[in-house]
Amino acid sequence: MSIARLLDENTLRAHYQPIARLDNGAVVAHESLIRLPAGHAIRNPDELFHAAREQGLLVRLEQACLDEGIRTWSSLAGRLLFLNLSAFAVVEMVDRLTAAGVAWALEAAGVSPSSLVIEITEHDHAMDISRLIHAATQIRACGVRFALDDYGEGHSSLRLWAELRPDYVKIDKYFIAGVEANPVKVQTLRGLVHLAEIFGSTLIAEGIETQAELRVVRDLGIALGQGYGLGRPQQRPALDILPAAQGVIASAEISVLPSLARAGGGDVTLARVTTWVEPQHPAITVNELAEVFQTHSSLKAIALVDSGRPVGLVIRQTFNDSYSRPFFKELFGGRPAMQFANTNPLVLQKHAGVDAMTDVLISADQRYLSEGFIVTENGQYAGLGSGQQLVRLVTEVRIEAARHANPLTFLPGNIPINEHIRRLLKAGRRFVACYADLNDFKPFNDHYGYWQGDEMIRLAARTLVSHCEPQRDFLGHVGGDDFMILFQSEDWEQRCRLILESFNERARDLFDEEALRRGGIDAEDRHGVRRFFPFTTLSLGAIVIEPGHFDKPDAVASAAAAVKHQAKMGHEGLVVAHRPVVRPHPQAQSWQ
């Protein structure tokens, strides 16, 4: 298909898609999108621009789209017009017309330069950023603004963002599609929000198609949105977004952001516990090495390194034990210390992660914990590490990871729970905080062992998950056999009763035949007294959180825990409160 003929026929038409604020739904701009005549052999704009590029007519096509977008634009007070141009076309336009000429042409077409936003669409590696910045600076002086299109796709560049300093950055639709179920995309969008604050740009989320996507990008603080979920492109610019989208934006209901399960320390490496200790050459004598140890009393070991590569490790304690023996100095003092080194020490890469460190800690050869190990980078000596430091680091990482995601159930831990409560309080949303706890779990765990105890906890987690609405209800694992549900579902009380019914029935499957026959088990209580315990069941304490009644997440958690305590003491299964209850134990809320 000849693109030149298509352009000569002048049958391309502009449609306008609304761009709206995500805090109140107001339409603030429209993007001009070109459309082909019905039944044309070229099926969509992507194929059109691809063909134009192959036929060397890309700039001419862009100019035609620009002219059409401006020609049919009905100037709407206070609204902006977004037009797409490649970086090459921007530079060529300024070179040909000058910035003043561009401003004059816009005014002649009835479009104020201050109402125009040029979207830079760049798919060419060879773009000359310096020429683009120069051209953009000149046009900006006339009032025209700039946007980066499809950021995160193709050849979009952080350098271009930093140097162009666009007024707007449009996030590629890939990062929006299915964001409500993709924790990596959520974290990416959070990073882009932070970058936008640094560079002074306004973000636009492209490709919003569902209410769930709209709710997430709104809650992440992205200012503007665009997509079929807000409004489709049409010849006459829409003044309002779709009613369903307006309903989401007006709603106080917040999204449940998917948690990024942290198995532990993805960004933590051995470099954190690597200490630089000056190495020695393998030819150093025993007496010379003894003098080094005596001079540096804090050294636990010294690496022997030849041409940057470690060949042995001398442990201070082992070396001193030999050096202090009678006649040792006289017999071996002048010999190379290499004879008394461990020539097969443990060597770890400086950038090894937590998994590699954990493998060392659980390996059959535990002498590395006392002797330490050599750290290398690209095969070159980088320092030493000690077993004590390794144990401490791995322990800290695992504890921190458990605060974000429980390693048994992979549900969000305390930090995400508090973060979600904080978001609910900030939004002024009425919600229900429900604290879940197992009854008579310790006797079960003691009687059947912790493997079966873990299965009981996992059963509780699966039951809770199955009765929560993923887009409305947040479920977290506080720790042990304690869980927290933050309900926004209107039928939360019915869900609670179904949870109790389902769990209490399925928990019996984890007991043996004798326990099923007797209705429970014999086990020691917390005071060491052996007695009979019934089947493990679940207690739920729910408190309705009205806007303005709480201002801190820990107060909400404490109030829910107090209601849960009532449920456990009264063996009632579910207790519901509409205000904080009298504190039954020191950690609960204390006022009526």
The string of pLDDT tens digits covering residues 275-291 is 999 999 999 999 999 99
Instruction: Provide the mean pLDDT of the chain.
Output: 88
Residue-level pLDDT at 266: 54
Residues 287-304: pLDDT tens digits? 999 999 999 988 889 999
Is residue 353 packed enough to be buried (19+ CB in 10 Å), middle (13-18) or exposed (0-12)? middle
Q: How confident is the model at residue 386 (pLDDT cuts 50, 70, 90)?
A: confident
Measured over all CA atoms, what is the biggest interatomic distance in the chain, rounded to whole angstroms?
104
Specify the pLDDT at position 590: 34
CA dist., res. 17 & res. 311, Å (int): 67
Using 50, 70 and 90 to split pLDDT, how confident is the model at 122?
low
pLDDT over 90 percentage in the chain: 58
Higher pLDDT, 370 or 118: 118
Q: For position 335, what pLDDT does the model report?
A: 92
Rounded distance, CA 8 to CA 502, Å? 70
- Per-residue pLDDT at 587 exceeds 50: no
Q: Please compute the mean of the pLDDT values over residues 434-449 and round it to a whole number.
A: 95
More confident residue, 424 or 587: 424
pLDDT of residue 367: 72
State the DSSP code for 349. Answer: E
Starting at the earlier edge strand, list the strands of the sheet with 537-545.
Answer: 474-479, 482-487, 431-439, 537-545, 574-577
pLDDT at 585: 46
The model's pLDDT over 3-57, given as tens digits with 9 standing for 90+, comes to: 888 887 788 889 999 999 999 999 999 999 988 887 777 877 778 888 888 888 8
Q: Tell me the pLDDT tens digit for each residue of 46-87.
A: 788 888 888 888 878 888 888 888 888 866 667 899 999 888
- Out of 310-319, 361-370, 410-419, pick the least confident: 361-370
> pLDDT-based confidence at 584, cuts 50/70/90?
very low
- Please list, residue by residue across 500-520, b when 16 or more beta carbons sit within 10 angstroms of its beta carbon and e when fewer do: bebbbeebeebbeeebeeeeb
> What does the pLDDT read at residue 75?
66
Comparing 406-410, 421-425, 435-439, 457-461, which segment has the lowest mean pLDDT? 406-410
Closest CA to 224 of 15, 18, 16: 18
pLDDT at 393: 82
Give the residue-averaged pLDDT of 361-386.
83
- pLDDT bin (cut points 50, 70, 90) of residue 591 is very low
Angstrom CA distances, 135 to 86, 92, 121, 160, stand at: 12, 9, 15, 14
Lowest mean pLDDT among 114-123, 138-147, 164-173, 536-545: 114-123
CB 199 within 8 A of CB 167: no
CA-nearest of 152, 171, 150, 260 to 222 is 171
- Predicted confidence at residue 579, as pLDDT, reads 76
The pLDDT confidence band at residue 513, using thresholds 50, 70 and 90, is: very high
Q: Report the pLDDT value the prediction gives residue 282, as an integer from 0 to 100.
A: 93
Q: Quick one: pLDDT at residue 263?
A: 43
**Residue % of the chain over a pLDDT of 70:** 92
- In the predicted structure, residue 123 carries a pLDDT above the cut 70: no
pLDDT at 589: 40
Sign for the CA dihedral angle at 362, 367, 373, 378 comes to negative
DSSP one-letter string for 350-416: TT--HHHHHHHHTSS-THHHHH-EEEEETTEEEEEE-HHHHHHHHHHHHHHHHHHB-TTT--B-HHH
Decide which of 109 and 499 is more confident: 499
**400: how many CB neighbours lie within 10 A of its CB?**
15
